[in-house]
Chains A and B, each alone.
Chain A
Amino acid sequence: MKRIICIGNRYLPEDAAGYEVYRFLSKRGLPNGVDLIDGGLAGLDLLQYLEGMERVVIIDSISGFGANGDIRMFSAVEVAKAADPCFDHAAGLPYLLSVLPEVCDGTVPEIWVLGIEGIPDMEAVRSAAAQALDAVRGETAKEVYGK
C-alpha cells in the first residue's frame, strides 16, 4: 500500500500548500493501491498513518528554499536532520522522521517529502500533484537511486 499525506494549516495561506494539493488530488482520483490523507496539523500523530505502508509521499509548505511556488523533493533523512532535539507542541515532521526508526511498528516505509515554497498558484499545485504521484509510484527513487 502507498499513501500521499498532505499536511499543513488550511487557514494560514503560508502553510496551506499541502492542503491545496490535497484538494486538487481528491477531485481527480488516484492510482490503484494509493490513498490520500489530509494530515492537517497532526505532527507526531502521523505515526500510525506511516506504519504498514510501503511508500509514503508527504506534501507540506516550505520556507526559505527558493521562489514562491518552487517545488523541492526531500528525502526523509534530509528532513529529519532539521529536527529540534527536543519535542515541543510545534514538533512536526522532522521530529517524527527522526524517531521513526525507533518507534515504527513493522518495516519503516520509504518516505519522500515534497515541499512547496510559499503560497502556490494553480500551476504549482498541479505540478506538485504530478510530482507526488510520480514519487508515490517510485519514480523519484528510480531517479535518485537508479533503481
Chain B
Amino acid sequence: MKELSLHLLDIAQNSIAAGARHVDLTVEERGELIQLTVADDGRGMSPAFLASVTDPFTTTRTTRKVGLGLPLLRLAAEQTGGELRVESQLGVGTTVTATFHADHIDCPPLGDTASTVALLAQGLPEGMELTYTRRTGRGEFRFDTAEIRAVLGPDVPLSEPEVAEWMRSYVAEGEGETA
C-alpha cells in the first residue's frame, strides 16, 4: 500500500463485512505520530481468532486462504517504529489502532484520505453509517454520513456518483483546514 489512507480503506471493509452498523474512522496527528483508528460495532472476533488475526494465513475470505489487510498494516506501522493494536469482543465490535512515526523514512504518506472516506460512504450497505474525524494540532474536522443522509432525504442515496463527488470535495476542503 502506497498510502496510509489505502490501509484505512482496506481495514474499513472488514467492518462492513462484520455487519457493523457504525464504523468510526479517525486520523490523528500528534507531533511526529500519526494514529489511524477504525472502530466498529460489528460481530467482533473470538479470542482465538483475534490471537492470530495478523497472521497472513488467517482470514474470513473464501476465495483465498490468505488475508493480508491487517498483516500489511502491522508491517507498515512496525517498519516506522510504530505498532498495531487490535481489540475485539464477540458481539460488541472491533477497534484497530495503527500508530506510525511520520518522521521515519519508511513512513508512507497519509495520501488521499478524502477519496477513502467518500468511496467508503458511497459503498456503505443500507442501515450502516460512517463517521470520520481528522484531528491535528490545528483543529478538528468531522464528517458523518447520518448528517449527509439527513440533507439528502430518503430518495437520494449516498451511492449516487454526484453525491460521492461532492463528499470527496467536502472532506478534502474540510480536513484541508486542519492541515
Report whether chain A binds chain B.
no
Interface residues, chain B, with chain A CB atoms under 8 Å away: none
Interface residues, chain A, with chain B CB atoms under 8 Å away: none
